[in-house]
Amino acid sequence: MLAAVLSLTAPVQAPPAQAQDYPTRPVTITVCFPPGASTDTIARRIAERLTTSLGRPVVVDNRGGAGGNIAGSLLTRPSLPVQT
């Protein structure tokens, strides 16, 4: 019985946890079409709004060609230098 009461009070005694700020680096939106396409225009509008709401720079990276394989191979790298 005492163990049950103590287990219920344990979460109350735990210190509050805070998450780290995210994102910590510039955010990159990778578009698999060349600049000037409709997807590029939409991505740039989204990037503008995300920049104001996140307070961090959001960059649009156009990697057109090879049917989207260039952008796909970029996103499958194990260690990206940016947050996508």
The CATH number of whichever domain residue 58 belongs to comes to: 3.40.190.150
CB 63 within 8 A of CB 32: yes
User: Model's pTM, two decimal places?
Assistant: 0.61
Q: What is the total count of domains within the chain?
A: 1
- Cis peptide bond N-terminal to 11, omega within 30: no
51 within domain boundaries: yes
45 within domain boundaries: yes
9 within domain boundaries: no
Q: At 29, is the pLDDT very low, low, confident or very high (cuts 50, 70, 90)?
A: confident
Domain that holds residue 41: 24-84
46 within domain boundaries: yes
User: What would the pLDDT profile of 36-57 be if each residue is shown by its tens digit?
Assistant: 888 889 999 999 999 999 888 9
